């Protein structure tokens, strides 16, 4: 019986994704979910969404920062190859991200990047920036970790939020935001990757976790102070399955792998990080019992995807390789990344989980979103 239900759900969602892809080509993505079926989150009555984070959710802010744009490979094709008119929007994927699918599920337009001039922010705003960290630039400098190509850390994004709300709801933000959804993250993973690439030991990275989590918790408190009542705080995916991490650890003779072929040490570390974050969220929930503060379990969502990889339409031969990449055991080279000259995308991104070695494909994001929404809806206290 359970197997039959799973098959029906999988087939139903495959039909949704196929029709979505067709309508994306016609520029009608935002009408799709409403036309096909009422999005599950529409019953929650969410009228605005606010996103903070890094490249997993940036929809164009990096491209509007001069230095960030100059150093981001996401500004070149084949990024966006499956987006409307193959537009390079700054999304680090071949198409839509999780925040895009969440907006569609709520019956809302896709969120505009907050740095876009004269954009419509009546349905929310996306403050995320590729490469952003939870820790401040100054804090990372003390740890002798250098940023990549943006200084727009979580605290900076929160400043943008503050300026935005002061202009649109300064007299009564709690009323203005009473039906809003906030996503504080995913963020905090980039500084760990920077540290790894810059020679930090696992113990040094582990010692960073409390500071990262405290920065995220401060961010949650900040959005609550403006009137947020429904907040999702995502953890990290098992990044030991990402080709970039597999490539880094592949040179270490002591590296061991799990049943999925992922780096055990890194995924164990990510579980430690996620558990620390969950404890911080638990304490916040005790402090604010009337506010929905929900842990976004990206880790479990990704494991579910891997456990059902064939049933969901992915090719099991490519689960550890990106669609867009070149060379090495995992089709990934640090010196020749997706977006660089000579690096091409695969013919069919829909059979790949990884897009470029670090970010996922549109199809993978769509399935992760499906799992996430099923998990968080009961916690959002939505009308039945």
Please identify every residue annotated as catalytic: 55, 356, 359
What 8-state DSSP symbol labels residue 58?
-
Q: Which two tokens stand for residue 11?
A: 């087939």
In the sheet with 292-296, reading across from the earlier edge strand, the strands are 124-126, 48-52, 180-184, 230-234, 292-296
- Cβ-in-10-Å burial (0-12, 13-18, 19+) of 213 comes to buried
CA–CA separation, 193 vs 252, rounded Å? 16
| C-alpha closest to that of 358 among 340, 338, 343, 344 | 338
| C-alpha closest to that of 322 among 243, 263, 250 | 243
For residues 257 and 336, the answer to whether their CB atoms sit within 8 Å is no
Strand partners, 322: 354
Residues with Cβ < 8 Å from 137, sequence gap 6 or more? 147, 151, 153
Strand partners, 324: 345
For residues 68 and 149, the answer to whether their CB atoms sit within 8 Å is yes
């Amino acid at each position: 019986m359970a197997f039959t239900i799973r098959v029906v759900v999988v087939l139903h969602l495959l039909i949704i994704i196929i029709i979505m892809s067709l309508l994306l080509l016609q520029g009608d993505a935002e009408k799709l979910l409403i036309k096909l079926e009422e999005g599950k989150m529409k019953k929650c009555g969410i009228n605005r969404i606010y996103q903070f984070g890094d490249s997993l959710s940036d929809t164009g802010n990096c491209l509007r920062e001069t230095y960030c744009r100059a150093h981001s490979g996401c500004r070149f094709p084949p990024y966006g190859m499956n987006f409307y008119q193959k537009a390079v929007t700054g999304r680090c994927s071949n198409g839509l991200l999780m925040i895009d699918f969440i907006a569609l599920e709520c019956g809302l337009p896709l969120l505009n990047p907050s740095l876009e001039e004269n954009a419509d922010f009546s349905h929310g705003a996306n403050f995320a920036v590729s490469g952003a960290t939870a820790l401040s630039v100054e804090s990372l400098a003390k740890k002798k970790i250098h940023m990549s190509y943006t200084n727009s850390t979580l605290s900076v994004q929160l400043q943008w939020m503050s300026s935005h709300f002061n202009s649109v709801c300064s007299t009564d933000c709690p009323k203005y935001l009473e039906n809003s959804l906030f996503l504080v993250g995913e963020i905090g993973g980039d500084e760990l990757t920077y540290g790894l690439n810059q020679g930090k030991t696992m113990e040094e990275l582990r010692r960073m976790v409390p500071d990262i989590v405290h920065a995220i918790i401060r961010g949650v408190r900040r959005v609550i102070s403006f009137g947020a009542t429904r907040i999702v705080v995502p953890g990290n995916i098992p990044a030991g399955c990402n080709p970039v991490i597999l490539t880094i650890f592949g040179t270490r003779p002591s590296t061991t792998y799990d049943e999925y072929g992922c780096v055990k040490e890194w995924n164990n570390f990510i579980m430690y990080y996620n558990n620390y974050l969950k404890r911080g969220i638990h304490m916040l929930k005790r402090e604010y019992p009337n506010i929905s503060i929900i842990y976004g379990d990206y880790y479990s969502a990704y494991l579910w995807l891997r456990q059902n990889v064939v049933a969901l339409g992915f090719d099991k031969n490519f689960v550890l390789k990106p669609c867009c990449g070149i060379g090495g055991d995992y089709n990934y080279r640090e010196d020749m990344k997706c977006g660089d000259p000579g690096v091409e995308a695969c013919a069919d991104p829909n059979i790949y989980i990884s897009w470029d070695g670090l970010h996922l494909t549109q199809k993978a994001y769509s399935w992760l979103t499906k799992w996430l929404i099923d998990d968080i809806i009961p916690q959002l206290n939505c009308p039945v």
